[in-house]
Amino acid sequence: MKDFELFNKITKHNDTPRLYIKFHDDFTIYAIVLMITPKKHIFSDNSQTYGAYYGYHGGAVNDGGFFRLSNNRRKQEIFDYAGLETIKEMEANILENLMQKIWEIVDDQNGEGDLILTEAGNNLIKRNGGVYDGVFTLNDFDGNLLAGIQWGLMLQFDY
């Protein structure tokens, strides 16, 4: 899938995804976070933001998972892959779709190496301003939404 299609077809509603990628000095990837607030929720008091993440968890281990943020309940929820069975099917589908999109941007070389950009990921970054200070963001990614989230990523939003 071309990088243009990747972000225009993330869901059937053409919602706007927000993306964050933090790089190591050697341009391998430290972490990637992709999140979306469906358009029907953006101006609602009960907005829901869904996200998927993958990256360094310490001890030379990369791992990922999912999150759901609720504005109304001021609640942050983290899910592993098995945890998707505990939520509504529509929400699980959104989260799984986000993780699929992450794997179109990055590759872990079948678990054998560092996390690197795919060709689509490289093209996406080149066409959207490039990396600045070891970080790439797209569509006004706001790390403040994730303040205090309890996940395994060893990540602070310092841009």
Q: What are the tokens at 153?
A: 């990523």
Q: pLDDT tens, 16-40? A: 789 999 998 998 898 999 999 876 6
Q: pLDDT tens, 131-147? A: 998 999 998 888 777 77
Nearest in space to 36 (alpha carbons), one of 64, 9, 3, 74: 9
3-class secondary-structure state, position 23: strand
Contact predicate 63/54, CB 8 Å: yes
Domain with 76 in it: 3-146
- pTM, full prediction: 0.82
Contact predicate 50/77, CB 8 Å: no
∠ CA 123-126-131, nearest 5°, is 125
Instruction: Judge whether residue 46 has pLDDT over 80.
Output: no
How many domains, the chain? 1
